[in-house]
Structure 1
Amino acid sequence: MQIITQTLTTPLTKTAKLTGYVLDNTAEIDENRVRPAVVICPGGGYAFVSQREGQAIANQMNAIGLQAFVLDYSCTPTHFPAQLAELATAVKVIREHANEWHVDPNKIIAMGFSAGGHLAGSLATMWNQPVLKDLGFNPEEIRPNALAIGYPVITSGEKAHRGSFDHLLGENPSAELLEQVSLEKQVSADTPQTFMWQTYEDQAVPVDNTIMFAQALRDHGVNCEYHMFPHGPHGLALASAETAANEDQIVPAVQQWVGLFKTWVTTNVMD
């Protein structure tokens, strides 16, 4: 395995870091093998980037057979759309290095958790919108081929995780800006196929967020696999002792999301 670190220069920032966990090819199997890639955006309410939702999840993605990358993106006081530009740049860089990093450039998954799920979902819904075109991005270079999100922040409306939007947008954002970052309103037929999960008991980000997003995907004919687990708090990551901040975050039933994702990605992305 190669561990690759890239500092990303975007039209708005120069501080984001992309860390890649890249599986090597071997003569025993196939020296020319290419794999799908996943870009992981940890959560943290746009106030910080959670370490619990980074490398440990990348390791699980490697085990599935994906080239895994973790994005350490900018947080407050840096505001939207800087983070979106950083993720777009990460996808662009992975495509540019596809041969070197043994990546299939047509199979890049944006993955995120909590506020990182909002970031991944923002790229999935805005990759061809003016917000990124106006920054000089070519939509086809930054388009994710699939989206995978866990307990994501989605809506800026009544069921919002208000702290995430305060950090993302700053003080007194306009109604137009709040509408722009409310992802259930940004879904279109161009949004890629999606895998997502959340727990019913999540008290930080109401489960209404994923329900709204799933309904919007269905309304636009976008394929979606959605799992609502009955028990567990917010921020579960792998829901195991490896990533738990406390005992409440060890939830064996939720640990199966990785296996469910493996089946989904094998069936819908790898084929």
Structure 2
Amino acid sequence: MQYITQTITGADGSNAQFIGYVIDNSPEIDEQRTRPAVLILPGGGYEMTSDREAEPIALRFVGAGYHAFILRYSTFPSLYPTALLQAAAAMQLIRAHASQWHVKADAICVLGFSAGGHLAANLSTTASDDVLQANGFQPNEVRPNGLMLSYPVISSGEFAHRGSFDHLLGEQKDNPQMLQQLSLEQHINSVTPPIFVWHTLTDTAVPVENTLMLISACRAAGVSIEAHIFPEGDHGLSLGTWETSHNKQQVVPAVQPWFDLAVHWLGRTLL
């Protein structure tokens, strides 16, 4: 396996860390094999990027036969659209190296947790198209082929995780035009890729209504979505196992099936 690290510099001079876990081909199996890939965007309220939602997730995907990449994007005091442009650059980097890294270039999914889910959905929908074009990206060239979301921040309205938008927008946090642009349930349409999402009913940080609104928007737009609402567990559970737990409250057997469900969805969606 190749372990890849690169720095992606933001427009504000901040640095994002791009990390790749690339599975080697073997002459004993298939020297020409290409694999789908997952780009992981950890959460952290646009204030940090969580370790619990980074390498442990990547290693599980490698074990399932997927190349895995992590983007530790810039967070506060870096503001919008710094992280978005870094995510676009990460997608561009993966596709540019698809041959070298044996990546199936039309089978790249982005997985976002919490605020990382907001970033992933922003990159995946047309909400970001104008900003991407203004900064030299062709939106369709950096849009992923699938979108996976774990307890995502979606809406900037009544059920918003206000801290995420405060850290993302800084002094513009009350700007209604910016908030509407970044309320992503309003930007689901025919170019939105297929979606897998999970949440818990008892999430006290990012209310489950964020996911329910996403489901409704996808249904209205005819976008394929697989959604799993689990009955218990608070926010930020990652895998819900001891491996990713900070305390025993983060070990929640009810949510642990999400990873296998996501892998099955990937197999049906990307392969």
TM range (shorter): over 0.9
Is residue 88 from structure 1 mapped to residue 67 from structure 2 by the alignment? Answer: no
Write the deviation string for residues 201-231 of structure 1: whole angstroms up to 9, x where unpaired. 1000000000001111111111000000001
2:263 alignment counterpart:
262
Q: Percent identity among equivalent residues?
A: 50
- d(CA) in 2 for partners of 1:241 and 1:233? 15
- d(CA) in 1 for partners of 2:212 and 2:13? 33
State the AA in 2 paired with 1:111.
Answer: L
- d(CA) in 2 for partners of 1:172 and 1:269? 38
- d(CA) in 2 for partners of 1:186 and 1:13? 29
- d(CA) in 1 for partners of 2:162 and 2:267? 35
State the AA in 2 paired with 1:212.
Answer: M
Write the deviation string for residues 54-77 of structure 1: whole angstroms up to 9, x where unpaired. 000001111221110010100011
1:228 alignment counterpart:
229
1:113 alignment counterpart:
113
Tell me the CA shift for residue 232 of structure 1: 0.6
Tell me the CA shift for residue 188 of structure 1: 1.3
Tell me the CA shift for residue 171 of structure 1: 2.5
Is residue 202 from structure 1 mapped to residue 203 from structure 2 by the alignment? Answer: yes
Tell me the CA shift for residue 126 of structure 1: 3.2
Tell me the CA shift for residue 127 of structure 1: 7.3
- d(CA) in 1 for partners of 2:194 and 2:91? 17
Tell me the CA shift for residue 176 of structure 1: 0.3
Query: What is the DSSP-based 3-state SS (H/G/I as helix, E as strand, rest coil) of the residue aligned with 1:242?
Result: helix
Higher relative helix content: 2
16-25 or 127-136: bigger deviation? 127-136
Q: Is the 8 A contact 2:127 2:187 kept in 1?
A: no
- d(CA) in 1 for partners of 2:223 and 2:13? 32
2:55 alignment counterpart:
55
State the AA in 2 paired with 1:161.
Answer: H
Q: Across the two proteins, how many residue pairs are aligned to each other?
A: 270
CA shift in 2, pair 1:13/1:181, >3 Å: farther
- d(CA) in 1 for partners of 2:14 and 2:172? 26
Write the deviation string for residues 99-158 of structure 1: whole angstroms up to 9, x where unpaired. 111101101101110000011011011377211101110223211100000000000001
Query: What is the DSSP-based 3-state SS (H/G/I as helix, E as strand, rest coil) of the residue aligned with 1:225?
Result: strand
State the AA in 2 paired with 1:69.
Answer: F
- d(CA) in 2 for partners of 1:100 and 1:14? 28
- d(CA) in 1 for partners of 2:202 and 2:14? 38
Q: Is the 8 A contact 2:172 2:178 kept in 1?
A: no
State the AA in 1 paired with 2:165.
Answer: F
- d(CA) in 1 for partners of 2:113 and 2:201? 16
RMSD between superposed Cα atoms in Å: 1.2
Write the deviation string for residues 214-260 of structure 1: whole angstroms up to 9, x where unpaired. 11111111100000000111000000000011111101121110110
Matches within 5 A, 1:113-152: 113-126=113-126, 129-152=129-152
**TM-score, normalised to structure 1's length?**
0.97
CA shift in 2, pair 1:62/1:232, >3 Å: same
Any unmatched runs of 5+ in structure 2?
A: none
Matches within 5 A, 1:232-247: 232-247=233-248
Tell me the CA shift for residue 28 of structure 1: 1.2
State the AA in 1 paired with 2:18.
Answer: L
2:97 alignment counterpart:
97
